[in-house]
């Protein structure tokens, strides 16, 4: 501490610090790889393996075990052997087939797109709505804060899955409201029930962001640079959107990654209860629900869709942990 180091040529850019720290976080890296893999599968699915769930049927090969096991299991090999040519394709249905003879692997692959879309969209909607309400409540206080806080308290008192079930059962009818039909088209989900489930899961998450954003804004609002901006005559909206909000984003981003994990599980749970996506849509929760009559004899119909949910959720949880390592100032000490 005897000599002052000369001023650096330029302070390190925020982005490079982010990447340097992120590369040191093992959970973050593993999570990023898993998530990237699923995104890649989801994007490439229509190209590597075009699929129409409504016409895909093969009653000769229903509830058959994974075709990979043909390598060591003679019976399975005989099942998958083409009766005309006698050739055997061990990759015909690597995860086995379901009650309609559809390849579980193909359906799991195509389910990736649905689950990722639904998880991300529901979280982003909750993040925007909740953050906006929370920021306004925290910044202005007063009656608005009281009302928003009260409504969040009421919503948080419900077990979230019950609230989601309630919401989803109100709006999932044969004639969906215009908003739901429009979102169905916008995100190409081909299922108004799935959109309803997505909105339900989103709604349940809103109070989480309200509380988080409010707490962060309360602490940021008192910082000198915000007061300086106020002293320099910045308008209310400029103060909120240029100064307070950008400096409150870190915890919200971390929570966002973790919320995608929760949302993915909850949408699948609604599908499992028969309220979300409807058959024949290859949504993972719905596939597990379909498998309930058959899983005693054909466990692969239940194991692989569940594994897909589990891995996706794990990926986002790891990614969230990694982002927290990077963005949470407390963990950097």
Partner 1 sequence: MGSYLIRRVLRTLLVMIGISVVVFAFVRSIPGDPATALLGERATPEAAAALREQLGLNKPWFINYKDPAHLLDAQFPKYVGQLVQGDLGSGIKSNIPVRDELAARFPATAELAIAALLFALLIGLPTGLLAALRRNSAWDNLATTVSLLGVSMPVFWLGLLLSYFFAVRLGWLPPSARLGNDTVLEPVTGFYVLDALLRGQPAAAWDAVRHLILPAIALGSIPLAIIARITRSSLLEVLGQDYVRTARAKGLTGRAVTLKHALRNALLPVVTVIGLQAGALLGGAVLTETIFSWPGLGSWLYDAISQRDYPVIQGGVIFAALVVSVVNLLVDLSYAVLDPRIQYR
Min dist CB 146 to partner 1, Å, is 11
Cβ-based nearer residue to partner 1, 41 or 268:
268
Among all chains, which residue has been given the structure tokens 């909850």? Answer: 266
Q: Give the one residue of 180, 265, 319, 326 binding partner 1; rule: CB under 8 A.
A: 265
Cβ-based nearer residue to partner 1, 130 or 285:
285
User: One symbol per residue from 10 to 49: x for binding partner 1 (CB under 8 A), - otherwise; what is it?
Assistant: -----------------x----------------------
Q: How far apart are CA 162 and CA 103, in angstroms?
A: 33
Give yes or no for residue 134 binding partner 1 (CB under 8 A): no
Tokens of 136: 């306004």
Q: What is the dihedral of CA 163, 188, 191, 42, to 10 degrees?
A: -80
Count the Cβ atoms, other than its own, within 10 Å of residue 19.
11
Give yes or no for residue 298 binding partner 1 (CB under 8 A): no
Q: Do the beta carbons of residue 309 and residue 265 sit within 8 Å?
A: yes
Cβ-based nearer residue to partner 1, 97 or 317:
317
Residue 161 makes CB contacts below 8 A (sequence gap 6+) with: 266, 269, 270
Give yes or no for residue 95 binding partner 1 (CB under 8 A): no
Stretch touching partner 1 by CB under 8 A, among 53-61, 63-71, 219-227, 314-322: 314-322
Min dist CB 35 to partner 1, Å, is 13
User: One symbol per residue from 135 to 154: x for binding partner 1 (CB under 8 A), - otherwise; what is it?
Assistant: ---------------xx-xx
CA distances from 273 to 156, 161, 262 (A): 22, 11, 16
Give yes or no for residue 162 binding partner 1 (CB under 8 A): yes
Q: How far apart are CA 293 and CA 50, in angstroms?
A: 28
């Amino acid at each position: 501490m005897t000599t002052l180091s000369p001023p650096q040529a330029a302070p390190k850019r925020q982005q490079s610090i982010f990447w340097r720290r992120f590369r040191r976080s093992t959970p973050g890296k593993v999570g990023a790889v898993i998530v990237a893999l699923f995104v890649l599968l989801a994007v490439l699915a229509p190209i590597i393996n075009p699929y129409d769930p409504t016409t895909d049927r093969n009653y000769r090969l229903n509830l058959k075990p994974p075709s990979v096991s043909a390598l060591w299991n003679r019976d399975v090999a005989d099942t998958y052997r083409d009766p005309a040519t006698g050739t055997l394709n061990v990759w015909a249905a690597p995860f086995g087939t379901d009650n309609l003879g559809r390849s579980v692997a193909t359906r799991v692959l195509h389910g990736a797109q649905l689950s990722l879309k639904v998880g991300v969209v529901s979280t982003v909607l909750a993040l925007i709505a909740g953050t906006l309400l929370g920021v306004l409540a925290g910044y202005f206080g007063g009656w608005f804060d009281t009302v928003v806080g009260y409504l969040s308290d009421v919503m948080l008192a419900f077990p979230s899955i019950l609230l989601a079930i309630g919401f989803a059962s109100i709006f999932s009818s044969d004639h969906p409201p215009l908003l739901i039909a429009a979102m169905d088209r916008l995100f190409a989900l081909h299922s108004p029930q799935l959109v309803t489930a997505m909105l339900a899961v989103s709604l349940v998450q809103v109070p989480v962001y309200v509380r988080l954003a409010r707490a962060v804004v309360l602490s940021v609002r008192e910082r000198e640079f915000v007061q300086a901006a106020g002293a320099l005559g910045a308008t209310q909206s400029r103060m909120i959107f240029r100064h307070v909000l950008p400096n409150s984003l870190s915890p919200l981003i971390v929570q966002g990654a973790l919320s995608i994990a929760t949302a993915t599980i909850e949408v699948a749970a609604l599908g499992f209860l028969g309220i979300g996506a409807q058959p024949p849509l290859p949504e993972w929760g719905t596939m597990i629900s379909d498998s309930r009559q058959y899983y005693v004899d054909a466990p692969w119909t239940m194991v692989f869709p569940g594994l897909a949910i589990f891995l996706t959720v794990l990926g986002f949880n790891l990614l969230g942990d990694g982002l927290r390592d990077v963005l949470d100032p407390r963990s950097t000490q």
